[in-house]
A = this chain, B = another copy of it.
Amino acid sequence: MGSTFGNLFRLSTWGESHGGGVGVVVDGCPPQISLSEEDIQIDLDRRRPGQSEITTPRKEADRAEILSGTFEGLTLGTPIAVLVRNKDARPEAYSEMSEKFRPSHADYTYQAKYGIRNWQGGGRSSARETIGRVAAAAIAKKVIQKCFAPDLEILPFVESIGALQAEVDTDTVTREMIESNIVRTGDPNSVEKMIDYIKEIRGDGNSVGGVVGCVIRNVPVGLGMPVFDRLEADLAKGMLSLPATKGFEVGSGFEGTKMTGRDHNDPFRMVDGKVRTTSNRSGGVQGGISNGENIVFRVAFKPTATIMTEQETVSTNLENTELTGRGRHDACVLPRAVPMVEAMAALTLVDHMMRQRALCGDSQR
């Protein structure tokens, strides 16, 4: 319960950090979409640990196996199951966690909720679970491109790390700019500073948070459903379902609350025969529905909970005690959060595209 996402393009992820593996079943992928394991691997590689000097050193190749749902390189329209085995599990690094709740982790809440938990590596609450999402989203992106919006681009990037703020122009940033550096920021001037800062924080046994910004370009008009399933509501849910997230804002966001309507409204103008807005404080959604402008949003990630310093906590015997972090962790999750944000955006969009097609047909777009 709770591991399923989407109404039509519906995925169920499964798996724990230190169990037999992690994976996903996608029930609702359109047929005749070209799909290979390599299509999925590309995005898993962007997500996997050990990909650079500023990510966790856990060594996981994260090789994806497609178990069903394709035939001769094309999707069948039936469920696609993807399996990634866990390889570099080191449960012994977590033995102390079997007896103590790690502060600001999910150890205590899982125990309280279920009366049981897999204490090895965080079990189901590990970010390793996002493998299933990233794999499903790799499929979703192929569906979007083939069936719905060939030119659509989802471009998340690191906007800030701690107090270090990058300058990124959402109209011009490219995937190449973002992927060209291991921080995945869209601002070349910030790269070195951010890398140095992460290393410094890590050297100190500490951790840091940050913000991922995201722009989605070439979005069809008309995606999103009144009144509960507004596009921004479903994006917010998708983003807040990622580990370590604490906030979401779209368009003008919290800053926009300080403006007056006169300054905030986006005037409509005809441009090249299309209805356009001359500003985009709406962030590409109006009344919960995409208006064809860039969708722009931001996601807050808190500092990694695992730190290499002694902290106060309580034991599973409900006694006060202390705990020092162990295991292999990212001192800053932001670079690896980029493909996760991209995944949740793609999964949200493809589902709304299929819903819109169900309701209004192909001709509507």
Contact = CB atoms under 8 A, between A and B. Distances in A.
B12 A12 contact: yes
Contacts of A287: 105-106, 109-110, 125, 243
Given A27-B1, A249-B248, A359-B8, A282 B104 contact: yes
Given A32-B114, A236-B236, A243-B287, 11 more contacts: A2-B228, A3-B78, A4-B228, A14-B69, A14-B78, A15-B67, A104-B261, A124-B226, A124-B227, A256-B302, A261-B303
B260 A201 contact: yes
Interface residues of A, number: 158
Contacts of A147: 361
A30 interface: yes
A342 interface: no
A81 interface: yes
A174 interface: no
Interface in A275-302: 275, 277-278, 281-283, 285-292, 298, 300-302
B226 A313 contact: no
Interface stretch (A17-25, A43-51, A54-62, A175-183): A17-25
Contacts of A116: 31-32, 71, 74-77
20 contacts: A2-B227, A2-B288, A3-B79, A7-B7, A21-B67, A22-B68, A76-B123, A113-B289, A160-B257, A209-B259, A227-B241, A230-B240, A236-B248, A247-B250, A249-B249, A254-B300, A257-B302, A260-B307, A261-B304, A267-B311
Contact of A260 (B208, B256, B269): B208
B270 A314 contact: yes
Interface stretch (A149-157, A185-193, A350-358): A350-358
Copies in the complex: 4
B357 A357 contact: yes
Nearest to A124: B78
A115 B361 CA distance: 12
A41 interface: no
Counting chain B CB atoms within 10 Å of each CB, which of A112, A240, A257, A354 scores highest?
A257
A198 B43 CA distance: 49
A229 to B, nearest CB: 4
A256 B109 contact: no
Nearest to A247: B249
B229 A2 contact: yes
Contact of A265 (B27, B104, B210): B104
B109 A221 contact: yes
Contacts of A260: 162, 201, 206-208, 303, 307
A265 B307 contact: yes
A86 B287 CA distance: 21
Contact of A309 (B76, B129, B206, B262): B262
